[in-house]
Amino acid sequence: MEKSLSEQALQSRFHDLEENLKIVEEQISAAAERAGRRRADITLLAATKTVPVEVVNHGIEAGIRCIGENRVQELTEKYDRYRKDLADVQFIGHLQTNKVKYLIGKVSMIQSVDSEKLAQEISRLSVRAGVVTNVLLEVNIGREANKSGVFPEQLEALLGAVSQMPNVCVQGLMAIPPAQAQPKETFAYFNKMYHYFVDISTKKIDNVNMQLLSMGMSEDYPLAIEAGANMVRIGSALFGARDYTKTKSTRF
């Protein structure tokens, strides 16, 4: 369950979010300009892990139009209270196959498809629900053992398999570079992802619509935009440091 905030604390969070959003918007615009692109070409997704619904909704009312949750349990607990009339809700975290059922028909996109098994379950449940689920394929661009995503050399095979599955549509790619990388290394990882994205975009593959390259977070989103990202997932730069002191439930 969420940790409740006093009215004074909420007003403080609202103010901080408004100021942070201005800064983030300015930096997105500046990065887009440096890359010869328009601000309108970049989607800002607010990563809302641990953020109270009231704060998220205030951000939506301030202009945020896309939000992403990392945890299935948290998404289901907050889902009904989100301003879904104004903002798109996506899932951006690591996903286990036994939790797919909680997302189908609720989120517009699952950004973290990293295996054929996971895609098959998304397809099966989407067929049963009579919906088409948009997905991004997650690439482990840094080849990190403790991180999800397919290795680059496995991407083509996964893409081919998912493209044959009913009621699933691949909309692009997602990646997270190694956190400890220096800026030049991070940019190089982003640049590799952009080349994979462009290469796939030139191929005519049924059920694959390469529209989104989701990469870049609070620490490195200007670099990601300069490298070619058209979606950035920003959490702490908008909402402040994460608060992990939550009461856990046993529903999942």
123 occurs within a structural domain: yes
Tens digit of pLDDT at every position of the chain (252 positions): 445 678 888 999 999 999 999 999 999 999 999 999 999 999 999 999 999 999 999 999 999 999 999 999 999 999 999 999 999 999 999 999 999 999 999 999 999 999 999 999 999 999 999 999 999 999 999 999 999 999 999 999 999 999 999 999 999 999 999 988 999 999 999 999 999 999 999 998 888 999 999 999 999 999 999 999 999 999 999 999 876 655 444 455
2 occurs within a structural domain: no
Residue 77 burial (CB < 10 Å; 0-12/13-18/19+)?
Answer: middle
pLDDT, residue 252, reads 54
Beta carbons within 10 angstroms of residue 61's beta carbon: 12
252 occurs within a structural domain: no
193 occurs within a structural domain: yes
Q: In this structure, are residues 97 and 118 in contact, taking their beta carbons and an 8 Å threshold?
A: yes
pLDDT, residue 242, reads 78
244 occurs within a structural domain: no
pLDDT, residue 247, reads 42
| CATH code, domain carrying 122 | 3.20.20.10
190 occurs within a structural domain: yes
Distance of CA 13 to the CA centre of its chain: 23
Q: What is the pTM of this model?
A: 0.93
38 occurs within a structural domain: yes
Report the distance separating Cα 152 and Cα 111, nearest Å: 16
Domain limits at 107? 7-238
Total domain count, the chain: 1
